[in-house]
Amino acid sequence: MNLEQFYQRVINPPPPWRVSRVAISDDCTRVDVWLEHDSGYRFLCPECRKPCPTYDHTEERVWRHLDTCDSQTYLHARLPRVNCSEHKIKNGYFPIAEPGASLTSKMEVLCIRQLLACNRTNASELLGVSWDILQGVQTRAVKRGLERRGDAVPEKMGIDEKQVFARHKYFTIITDIAGQCVHDVIDQRAIDKISPWFEQRRDSLDAVKTLAMDMSAGYASVAGQYMPSAEICFDHFHIMQVVQNAVDKTRKDEQAAMDDEERKAMFASRYLFLYGRENLPEKHKDRFEKVKAVAVKTAKAWAIKEQIRDLWSGKLSEEEVSAFFQKWYWWATHSRLKHMISAARTLKRHLGGILAAVRNRISNAVTEGLNNKIESIKRAACGFKNKEAFRNAILFHCAKLDLMPSMS
Ligand SMILES: [Zn+2]
């Protein structure tokens, strides 16, 4: 078996393509493989996939392919241009690489696997592919995945804002709660900026049965306009944010009024009040008791916060949930803690949506899990050059899209 035959076997290009020549560099770090096709073959128009006569050929093009042992391997070919009666002169369909790609589809599959498994710096180093090229792979993968998925929308939809850069730059994250993934990412959070996304999917939005969101009025107008029959749910994650903020503000006020010695006892106590009752590590228990004895108001706010969590315990029936809330509301509004009173009133105003979330079992696990994942993508990338790149990375890692190039 000579070199050409060997590469014909291992690359196995689909007909009419065949290996015509192979060159190995003197230091054996690079292999170049030329592909040719027999004359007279009718290639497919890339638009309509009809076989068409060949018009002419492009200049020679090169694609990086999977390595041969340690040698980077490149495929070369002149692409036929076809003359389609409908679409005129086009590059003929080339099954080995996608239009505009500098890698073969098999190499793109490897890059996508690496990008999913490790961060982009490591992937770039392991593959010997520049980050710019990997970014192109990621962008094409997401575009492909979104096109394959089409305009179908999730039945249980979540909508949430996410700060992506300093100075008030936000994304709106649309989640598929049942599918436990991000559905889409829209630049900005202002209603006029996000409306086109909903407008474009107007006909599909009837499928949305529940819509989970935070209690700010922002997204409510989108819901009213585009998903009037969806049941609005204010989920655990966002309600706990409101109550937790009230604990934090109470602590700040209380700490500001303390003398030096008391303030010393409060050192780095913020994180203690973030714990749920059952999650407080053993090693912090003594200190937490001491802090609570000094910060009496904050301790009370924390206890009120802890109690509301039982709403999502799953142990209460629908009637019990309502009665439970009334009892909690009375306690919170009689606590003489102004931030907690204000938080309780906010919850009361949104009670219908809170009860709907409990009834529909919209838990915070998905929203919180995805939120954490997005944060870790941001950290691993050490900041993104632009919002488009960050949006692509979120969809690449969190949207469960079918990312791989087709190999036929
Ligand atoms: Zn055509």
CA of 67 to the centre of ligand 1 (A): 34
Torsion sign over Cα 41, 43, 49, 51: negative
pLDDT, residue 39, reads 83
pLDDT(362) > 90: no
Query: Between residues 379 and 308, which one has the greater pLDDT?
Result: 308
CA of 50 to the centre of ligand 1 (A): 6
Dump pLDDT digits (tens) for 147-167. Answer: 999 888 999 999 988 887 777
CA of 51 to the centre of ligand 1 (A): 8
pLDDT(357) > 90: no
Residue range 238-260: mean pLDDT, rounded: 91
CA of 91 to the centre of ligand 1 (A): 10
SS3 273: helix
Confidence band, pLDDT 50/70/90 cuts, at residue 399: very high
Helices H / strands E in the chain, number of each? 15, 12
CA of 224 to the centre of ligand 1 (A): 43
CA of 90 to the centre of ligand 1 (A): 8
pLDDT, residue 291, reads 86
**At a CB cut-off of 8 Å and minimum separation 6, what does 283 contact?**
none
* Angstrom distance (rounded) from CA 199 to CA 332: 41
Joined together, the tokens standing for residue 212 give 């989970």
What single string gives the DSSP state of each residue in 293-339?
Answer: HH-HHHHHHHHHHHHHGGGGSS-S-HHHHHHHHHHHHHHHHTS--HH
Q: Which helix (H) or strand (E) holds 357?
A: helix 351-359
pLDDT, residue 408, reads 64
pLDDT, residue 306, reads 93
CA of 57 to the centre of ligand 1 (A): 17
CA of 242 to the centre of ligand 1 (A): 57
* Angstrom distance (rounded) from CA 254 to CA 233: 33
pLDDT, residue 213, reads 87
pLDDT(383) > 70: no
CA of 406 to the centre of ligand 1 (A): 20
CA of 92 to the centre of ligand 1 (A): 10
CA of 88 to the centre of ligand 1 (A): 7
Pick from 83-87, 91-95, 177-181: least confident: 91-95
CA of 81 to the centre of ligand 1 (A): 12
pLDDT, residue 71, reads 93
Cβ distance 134 to 115 under 8 Å? yes
pLDDT(246) > 70: yes
pLDDT(288) > 70: yes
Confidence band, pLDDT 50/70/90 cuts, at residue 364: low
CA of 84 to the centre of ligand 1 (A): 5
> In percent, how much of the chain has pLDDT > 70?
97
CA of 404 to the centre of ligand 1 (A): 25
pLDDT, residue 324, reads 92
* Angstrom distance (rounded) from CA 345 to CA 348: 5
Please state the domain extents for the chain: 1-96, 105-150, 156-235+364-398, 236-359
Residue range 176-201: mean pLDDT, rounded: 90
CA of 213 to the centre of ligand 1 (A): 45
At the second CATH level, the architecture of 156-235+364-398 is 2-Layer Sandwich (3.30)
pLDDT(105) > 80: yes
pLDDT, residue 244, reads 94
- Tell me the residue type at 234: F
- Tally Cβ neighbours within 10 Å of residue 336: 9
pLDDT, residue 381, reads 67
pLDDT(23) > 90: yes
Residue range 286-292: mean pLDDT, rounded: 87
